[in-house]
Chain A
Amino acid sequence: ETGVTQSPTHLIKTRGQQVTLRCSSQSGHNTVSWYQQALGQGPQFIFQYYREEENGRGNFPPRFSGLQFPNYSSELNVNALELDDSALYLCASSLDRGPTDTQYFGPGTRLTVL
């Protein structure tokens, strides 16, 4: 069984640009969640996708959007990048979307916005 993978590992962008981060969930996992972890902080919930539809969102603006595909891959898109978007972005996959379903995290993508 393969774990959760993310690409790229690191990314540098400039303010105003757009970025796409990718995640590959564990096989069989219907749910993927994305988190933003600023330096020295705990991860913050961005949104969750269940069976290819957005299932819930945290306190993030609409310029943060996502997609989930049938092959267990997913994307996080961020438009109009701001300096405060610099963070580690983590995806987590789980079998289902309930609060007792364990979320398994990938290694993250480190985004730097200059």
Chain B
Amino acid sequence: AQSVTQLDSQVPVFEEAPVELRCNYSSSVSVYLFWYVQYPNQGLQLLLKYLSGSTLVKGINGFEAEFNKSQTSFHLRKPSVHISDTAEYFCAVSTLRGTASKLTFGTGTRLQVTL
């Protein structure tokens, strides 16, 4: 069975500081990984995804993530955060369940950016 663990439920950070949101996964099959962001009272927006190839993936809004197969991790990073980055961030693994593709999400990390 697939699972995703987001080790930090909340990450407070000052504006313009770097941030890393941690994600570990377990999967017995091919791994396809996603990071989504959820702003208050909104749906999920795709930040970036890893399907294959280069292990360093760049996404929108200056975010990037690195796939590490040996450590089964897919941590999200940003070198300098902005107040507007305050949101809930979800890591997810995509797998096949029969013929259906399903996303299995972690419990989320709340990023709180302050001045």
Contacts and interface: CB of A to CB of B under 8 A. Distances in A.
Contacts of B90: 42-43
A34 B106 CA distance: 17
B99 A56 contact: yes
Interface size grouping (class) on chain B: 20 to 34
B43 A101 contact: no
A108 interface: yes
Interface residues of A, number: 33
B107 A41 contact: yes
A99 B93 CA distance: 9
Contacts of A108: 42-43
B44 A105 contact: yes
Contacts of A56: 97-102
A90 B100 contact: no
A62 to B, nearest CB: 17
B44 A55 contact: no
A25 interface: no
Top-4 shortest CB links A-B: A56-B100, A42-B105, A105-B44, A105-B43
Given A42-B106, A97-B100, A99-B101, 14 more contacts: A33-B102, A33-B103, A42-B92, A42-B105, A45-B102, A48-B100, A48-B101, A50-B100, A56-B97, A94-B101, A97-B99, A100-B32, A100-B94, A108-B43
Interface of A: 4, 6, 31, 33, 35, 40-45, 47-48, 50, 55-58, 90, 92, 94, 97-108
